[in-house]
Amino acid sequence: MGSYVLRRLLHGLLLAFAVSVLTFGLLELAPGTYFDELNANPNVASGAIALLKTRYGFDKPLPVRYGRWLKSASHGDFGVSLAYNTSVAALLLPRAKNTILLTGMASLVAWAVAIPLGIWSSAGRRTWRGHVVEAAASGLLVIPEMILALACLWIAVRTHAFPVGGMTSTRFAELDWWAKIKDLASHLAIPIAVLALGMLPVLVRHVRSSMAEALSSHVVRAARAHGIPTRWVTMRYALPLAANPLISLLGFSLAGLLSASMLVEVVVGWPGVGPLLLDAILARDVYVVISAVMLSSVLVILGNLVADLLLRVADPRIRSGVS
């Protein structure tokens, strides 16, 4: 088990290194820099711009700049933001916690709804409930996350049921701990609903397909032939058989959830990585962009690592094949 984890961690480190090199190269090829905006400002002297380039190392070749950023990342600073003149870590880490909180809660909600709904519809896939779930999943699948976010915001504004924008209320510091939890939950409601609804069609379809295949297996048929109740057959025999593809889907769903959360955060005003990344792209704040991309990549790599470990624990065939 230990050697397997070490190999997976090594693969993850190599992949993160490749992503960092590719990101640096693509940003170097992109037209325009942060200093072009300063050049267009008549109030900024050319000598000051040259001094800034020297200060931030932009007078050096790309490999040298990459080496400096890599050294800074090893110390936990991840470079200096050109727009804010502070370490990228001080800007990124607080927002990363907000993004992880949002995506983690949205993933829990989506899976908590998708698993029972997929099992329920797979058991009656040729009846009305199977057709209703399939129609609802198909309808949600064609609606973009932006439209879902705007619709949820419109409902919140019209009904005043949930606050719009932000993570907490202005008087959050004055509240007791229970009131703080309720205030945070009310601000989480809209972005979680948007992300969960966006994930739900894909998850329900995979759960339904995996469960349908498991229910038609010889093991389940033999259990039914022995007179075991249907509910017990479904939970005790069919669900473990369907677990492998669902565990694999867990890692892949994290990548889609992170990319969707970037857009949703901007639309609903959640103070996560998404708005910071958008501002950094518009300002051409190179090191913020690189660090935000690297953070997303590392989270996806960790999500797939967790899925691989769960799959190895759940399936003895994988353990025997690795060891």
pLDDT, one tens digit per residue, over 237-248 is: 788 778 777 887
Q: Which residues, at least 6 apart from 204, have a Cβ–Cβ distance to it below 8 Å?
A: 114, 117, 118, 121, 133, 137
Write out the two tokens for 25. 């190269």
pLDDT value at residue 188? 92
Is residue 312 a part of any domain in this protein? no
Asked whether residue 26 falls in the same domain as residue 135, the answer is no
Residue 198: inside a domain: yes
Give pTM, 2 decimals: 0.84
On the 0-12 / 13-18 / 19+ scale of CB atoms within 10 A, 81 is: buried
Q: Residue 86 is encoded by which pair of tokens? A: 């502070």
Contact criterion met (CB below 8 Å) for 294 and 18: no
Tell me, yes or no, whether 109 and 218 share the same domain. yes
State the Cα–Cα distance between residues 221 and 233, nearest whole angstrom. Answer: 9
In a domain, 91, yes or no: no
Provide CB contacts within 8 A for 302, sequence distance 6+. Answer: 12
- Please check whether residues 62 and 129 belong to one and the same domain: no
Q: Specify whether 59 is located in the same domain as 138.
A: no
Host domain of residue 116: 97-283
Considering the domain architecture, whether residues 249 and 185 belong to the same structural domain is answered as: yes
> Which runs of consecutive H residues, i.e. helices, occur in the chain?
2-29, 34-39, 46-55, 62-74, 88-123, 128-141, 145-159, 177-215, 218-225, 230-233, 239-268, 273-283, 286-314, 316-322
- pLDDT at residue 1, rounded to an integer: 60
- How confident is the model at residue 322, as a pLDDT? 47
Please indicate, yes or no, if residue 323 is contained in any of the structural domains: no
Question: What CATH number is given to the structural domain containing 217?
Answer: 1.10.3720.10
* Number of folded domains that form the chain: 2
Domain assignment present for 305: no
**Residue whose token pair is 């070749």:** 61
Does residue 64 sit in the same domain as residue 123? no
Low-confidence ranges of the chain (pLDDT < 70): 1-2, 124-126, 315-323
* 302 is a domain residue: no
Residue 317 is assigned to a structural domain of this protein? no
**Residue 45, Cβ density class (10 Å: 0-12 exposed, 13-18 middle, ≥19 buried):** exposed
**Predicted local confidence at residue 155, as pLDDT:** 87
pLDDT of residue 124: 65
Residues 130 and 70 in one domain: no
Q: Are residues 129 and 201 in the same domain?
A: yes
Q: Does 221 map to a domain? A: yes
Residue 268 has, within 13 A of its CA and on its CB side, a CA count of 36
**140 with 205, same domain?**
yes
